[in-house]
Amino acid sequence: MKYLKNVATLKLDTEKCIGCGICLSVCPHKVFDLNPGKVEIIDFDACMECGACMMNCPVEALYVKTGVGCASGIINGILGGGGECCCDKGGICA
């Protein structure tokens, strides 16, 4: 699943990263990969800005401004708050 190109707020501080791999486990769209000792962003445009990686990073190496991307649109749509889903026409993300 791809969203708008180059607009995600996701940032990775490789200096802080300890390569624990937790972000790989919690990311629903496989945005990250683990290279020897460090995590890297391999699919930036797949980030839906849910914040799971940032909230679970033990060394605060990840930042994403939650509530501005696809996840926000989906949640607001489900809760009746309006907003468009950036996924397929049925509102289902891959």
pLDDT at 61: 97
- What CA–CA distance (Å, rounded) separates 2 from 13? 23
38 neighbors 14 (Cβ within 8 angstroms): yes
pLDDT in tens, 5-45: 777 899 999 999 999 999 999 999 999 999 988 999 999 98
| Calpha distance 46→61 (Å, rounded) | 19
Pick the CATH number of 11-78 from 3.30.70.20, 3.30.450.20, 3.20.190.10, 3.30.230.10: 3.30.70.20
Per DSSP, the three-state class of 13 is coil
Query: Quick one: average pLDDT of 39-67?
Result: 92
Write down the pLDDT at residue 77: 67
Q: Which of 67, 63, 60, 49 is nearest to 8 (CA)?
A: 49
Tokens representing residue 7 in the block: 């607009």
Residue 38 bridge partners (DSSP): 35
